[in-house]
Chains A and B, each alone.
Chain A
Amino acid sequence: MRFERREHRPLALIVLTPLLAVAAALALSGLLIAAAGAPVLEAYWRILVGAFGSRLSATETLTRATPLMLTGLAAAVAFRARVWNIGGEGQFYLGAIATAAVGSQLLSGAPGYLSIPLLLISGALAGMILLIVPLWLRLRFSVDEVVTSLLLNFVAVLVVSMLIDGPLKDPLAFGWPQSQSVADAAMLPKLVARSRLHWGFGIAVVLAFVVHFVQSRTVFGMKSRAAGLSPDGAVFAGVPLARTLLLVACLSGGLAGLAGAVEVLGVKGYVTTDLSPGFGYSGIVVAMLAGLHPLGVVLAALFTATMFVGADGMSRALKIPTYIADVTVALSLITMLVAVFFAQYRIRR
């Protein structure tokens, strides 16, 4: 068996690749479920029911998918231009805390039509700043942004801990480290009444289309791709390298920061250190699963959220651990990487 590079990739193959990858991941984690002594098909059925079986669970899944879409977009945008932003988690938290701070300190009396956009922008700005730092270090001193953006995650989380245990601490939280809340007027309206699903979901989906449009149709999209693919070639063609990459960093960091802002304004209203179950890191997985395509990110985020939310239902019904969902998502990343390889190569004899 040998591999040969495939130069023409039919559209069907591009669409089929992630589907096959997910199927393979489900098959593989099926083995695990079987090993745990549970019926495989029923387990998956339970996941589906757990994620979409009722109005409540369906809205819960979509709520969970919302930040994943945004952090997924953040990673996809950056990776496309070869800016290795591993700092989505930190940007998420910094966006969240900026939103909570501005919302509780400055804009607590403002009407919603004013405070909501301003708070979303604050969150995005905070995320941007956290990514501009590592990018600047790369442009100025050639420091690898993989390392710096990753390490800034820990810095960001510690800063958040400090703030919610200090200046921003909510005195009414019975001593729990929790930030003060934004005003009710600043909360995102619900998309579905009597559920947690909020307008942030709509924002995320719309942004996916916007990002797709920017990447495929705009001059900026073309220049950022050129800068990522070949810095020398881009410079020769007059693409301002530093400016373009900085804009990419603003877009990427801004999306991750926005994810934090949306989570605060849509769900909780305040920040705790467990606001994110790793949304920033999962965003990277989502982006890879999506093949870095912005519209694919929407689907990949839905898949990931389905697994996470549905796993609870499965676990309760069949008495097997929810970690199966983590395993499935992780496996699907691996199978996706394998599938992408096969999509690029063909097997000969």
Chain B
Amino acid sequence: MTETVLEIDGVSKSFGDNKVNDAISMTLARGEIVALLGENGAGKTTLMSILFGHYTPDEGCIRVAGANLPAGRPRAAIHAGIGMVHQHFSLAPNLTVLENVMTGTEKLWSLRSETGRARTKLKALAERFGLAVDPDARLGDLSVGEQQRVEILKALYNDARILILDEPTAVLTNLEAETLFGTLKEMARQGLSLIFISHKLDEVMAAADRVVVLRGGKVVAERRAAETSKAELAELMVGHRVARPIRDAHERGEPVLEAAAVSVRIDGVDRLKEASFRLHAGEVLGIIGVSGNGQAALASLLSGTLARSSGDILLYGEAIGDLSVADTVASGIGRIPEDRTREGAIGEMAVWENAVLERIDEPRFSRRGLVDRSAAIAFAETIVRDFDVRGGGARTRTRLLSGGNMQKLILGRNLAERPRILIAAQPARGLDEGAVAAVHARILEARKAGTAVLLISEDLDEVIGLADRIQAIVGGRLSPPVSADEVDARALGLMMAGAWKKEAA
């Protein structure tokens, strides 16, 4: 690894008074995989956006293979061989894979379509890097993992030599993530260079050759992956030692939320099949499973946005029909949705509006139909302070927060309310290690105060660390609960694969 393909030299970028990138320099060698690590809001996405020409740096420059890259031009970046896989894909769902890969490359005035040649090239690329995908499938029909593969193929189709991936695994199942890293390593072996952003230290240790750590917009450390450890990286990132809190013994209370053989059918497909669970006050019940196995339906059902098709739900011991959102909020159910940008927050609205929207009808935030702005803003400010939301205040447009900080806002508006029940779907997704520890501590604190927490997650460590009891979700069915003290990761793995005894309790 000698040949430097990419140099970032003293790049700075400010948004208003906020210096998001501060004289950042780093290099990338041929065939190297570099992980970019840093707290939420450290400036990782911004730096990558500069690299790809979405933003113009205030200072500094970028050199690709020794040649200066004109700033702020995505086309120049593509031409220089830089490819980017955005966290939110930029593909058209109603075009086929092949069409998606070709868009933007065909000459506008060319009369002949290049489909034939494109198909050949795409096939060759897919084969070379093990990225199997049907070129004629409609993109909208593909799973998230497959769509990501198309994004990568598109970059490769444009002859990318340097590939940037912004939190590529945030949307993937663990299995898909493993496959992805297999592909990335193969690409590196064949001489491509890669930068990926991740908050998951396991991945970073497993896949990267080198790790660059950003904090507060500055490069604070650079390590070879072989010469560092997860603990050290976490400490470098946050500036102090972090350890995820672990639950301690705690008496659980009465059952507060029960599902008895609940099924949910959407468009003729059973998303949830006779699922049963019993959630007690003061406990964390972990629902673990590979995503796409009915978690979304379960979370929406309990969040009040989806109706059941059969079965009963008991809230505080009483059978209720379908929950509405208003019911959930009124009866003290906090909800953390899986997809923060789609459901959790409205980007174009202010932080304070997102903080209070779901309880805007309560008398403390509105009277006779009039919004009490100062009360709402005060509430939002408490959340921003108590939950360490960085990068803006109550009046900031929510879209401007970094991904992790948006998540903290959503968490805050639920936990600040001391909910009796908390439905948390992937609450730590996209959070940095320090923030994960903080969120876990909050959840355990709520448990101690008597909140019943339903934790829907696919992160084994998270579930083992927090849950008192665990049920696996597979193909829309819930396994019987097992006590967390009695299982290990291996047993959980088996449960997630659907192997549980029918009669066990």
Contacts and interface: CB of A to CB of B under 8 A. Distances in A.
A234 interface: yes
Nearest to A227: B346
B73 interface: yes
A233 B353 CA distance: 12
Contacts of B497: none
Q: Determine the interface band of chain B, counting residues with CB < 8 A from chain A.
A: 35 or more
Contact of A226 (B326, B344, B346, B400): B346
B56 interface: yes
Contacts of B366: 219
B56 A4 contact: yes
B72 interface: yes
Interface in B282-339: 303-305, 324-326, 329, 335, 337
A236 B55 contact: no
A232 B325 CA distance: 13
Interface string B330-370: 00000101000011111111000100011011000010011
Interface in B55-99: 55-56, 72-73
B109 interface: no
Given A2-B72, A238-B325, A238-B358, A7 B371 contact: no
A329 to B, nearest CB: 29
Q: Binding site of A, secondary structure by majority: helix, strand, loop or mixed?
A: helix
A121 B346 CA distance: 35
A126 B400 CA distance: 43
A240 to B, nearest CB: 9
B16 interface: yes
Nearest to B300: A236
B56 A348 contact: yes
A219 B345 contact: no
For chain A, the bracket of interface size reads: 20 to 34
B371 A236 contact: no
A232 B72 CA distance: 33
Contacts of B358: 236-238
Contacts of A348: 56, 72
Contacts of B342: 230, 232-233
B400 A7 contact: yes
A289 to B, nearest CB: 21
A229 B360 CA distance: 17
A70 B129 CA distance: 61
A28 interface: no
A185 to B, nearest CB: 35
Contact of A220 (B303, B349, B369): B369
A219 B72 contact: no
Contacts of B326: 238
8 contacts: A2-B72, A2-B73, A4-B56, A217-B371, A218-B371, A221-B371, A235-B305, A236-B344
Interface of A: 2, 4, 7-8, 217-223, 225-226, 229-230, 232-239, 348-349
Interface of B: 15-16, 55-56, 72-73, 303-305, 324-326, 329, 335, 337, 342-349, 353, 357-358, 360-361, 366, 369-371, 373, 397, 400
Given A2-B73, A235-B325, A238-B329, 6 more contacts: A4-B55, A218-B370, A218-B371, A230-B348, A236-B358, A348-B72
